[in-house]
Amino acid sequence: MPEVTQLAEFSLIQRIAKRFGELRNQTLVGIGDDCAITQPNSKNLQLITTDLLVEGVHFNRHFTNSRDIGYKAMVANLSDIAAMGGTPLQFLTSIAIPPSFTRKDVDALYEGIMKPAKASGVALIGGDTSSSPKKLFLSLTLIGKVKPSHVIHRTGLQVGDEIFVTGTLGDSNAGLRILKTPPHKHIPRASLTWLSQRHLRPTARLRAGQLLAKHKIATAMIDLSDGLSGDLARICELNSVGATVNITHLPISKALCTYAHYIGKQAYKIALQGGEDYELLFTVRPESLPRIKRWKTQGLLDATHIGTITPKRKGIQIITPAGLLQPMRIKSYDHFQRRQH
């Protein structure tokens, strides 16, 4: 009998969705997008998403404090609402607390959860709490809303659409490496701190998602939790298309540049393969390029044009710094650990 650690290959979520998922009771989108969508009224769609963090899988308490754990759990959920162009409203917590957790730890965890929640106007409305034999488990369920005409799905893009990502890529992954294996004496402290913070305190791109939604300009959108290569492959598969990404166009932070230089690695490789960016990947029709550019200039949207959607037969390719077309190495951050359904 195969163990569940092998289940990634069996595509657990797809099996579950196929066998047990259903669209009924005002459900418009079930398993398979960033959020489920229901329609309790005609004015707004309701977005619902849940995100689970498990100690020893998603975080290591040796270098992640309770406040950071809570913070990231909330951002992971907010990011799913952002990826559909929605506005987050309320959330519930489900938490199993190990004996090693003090009262102060619990308070810090909730303070961490509440910080991005409050900044986004989200209210804690309920939950369930339990003791845990050994490990901390934290699952948040977040509810949001979006106008029916504004919602952005993972599907809907076409060949010829231009691919954008918000923010910079790979910082979180570099931050995780730094936190895992200190010290790094030769690397400038400012870079180390910045990258670590991007790992511990990522940003949910709610305003970017809402802007794109409001102007109906994105043909598809997904948030990058598994890394650019993995999530791009996923959205391409869903839409039966290919993609070409120009490596030299990938948005790389100065800190990642510095770090990559010091460890003798190419920054773009970290940007391609790294996970937990929580940036948005979206596509637009070519005629929307001027508008995106204008928003960028006006400081309304921090997004970078990284490539183009191609026919499926071309697969997923990169243009290397030398100008060569090569197949992209698809390496998901961790399929079984962070695959949301």
Site residues (CB under 8 A) for a second copy, limited to 54-73: 54-58
Candidate residues 59, 71, 101, 282; the one interacting with a second copy per rule CB under 8 A: 101
Element (H, E) at 162: strand 162-166
Beta carbons of 258 and 186 less than 8 angstroms apart: no
Q: Under the criterion CB under 8 A, does residue 141 sit at the interface with a second copy?
A: yes
Whichever of 69 and 95 has its CB closer to a second copy, that residue is 95
The tokens describing 191, both together, are 């870079």
Whichever of 16 and 289 has its CB closer to a second copy, that residue is 16
Whichever of 9 and 287 has its CB closer to a second copy, that residue is 9
Q: Is the dihedral of CA 67, 167, 300, 292 positive or negative?
A: negative
Candidate residues 14, 48, 257, 331; the one interacting with a second copy per rule CB under 8 A: 48
Beta carbons of 331 and 273 less than 8 angstroms apart: yes
Candidate residues 69, 83, 89, 250; the one interacting with a second copy per rule CB under 8 A: 89
Whichever of 16 and 119 has its CB closer to a second copy, that residue is 16
Site residues (CB under 8 A) for a second copy, limited to 111-130: 113-114, 121-130
CA separation for the pair 256, 241 (Å, rounded): 30
Site residues (CB under 8 A) for a second copy, limited to 220-239: none
Q: Under the criterion CB under 8 A, does residue 148 sit at the interface with a second copy?
A: no
DSSP-H helix ranges across 125-205? 171-180, 189-200
Binding mask 302-341 for a second copy (x = CB under 8 A): ----------------------------------xxxxxx
Q: Under the criterion CB under 8 A, does residue 46 sit at the interface with a second copy?
A: yes
**Which region among 132-140, 174-182, 243-251, 320-328 touches a second copy (by CB under 8 A)?**
132-140
Site residues (CB under 8 A) for a second copy, limited to 2-31: 2-5, 7, 10, 12-13, 16, 19-27, 29-31
**Smallest separation, CB 335 to a second copy (Å):** 10
* Closest listed residue to residue 278, CA positions, set 228, 331, 318: 228
CA separation for the pair 235, 81 (Å, rounded): 17
* Closest listed residue to residue 329, CA positions, set 247, 216, 210: 247
Angle at 214 between CA 286 and CA 41, to 5 degrees: 130
CA separation for the pair 303, 8 (Å, rounded): 32
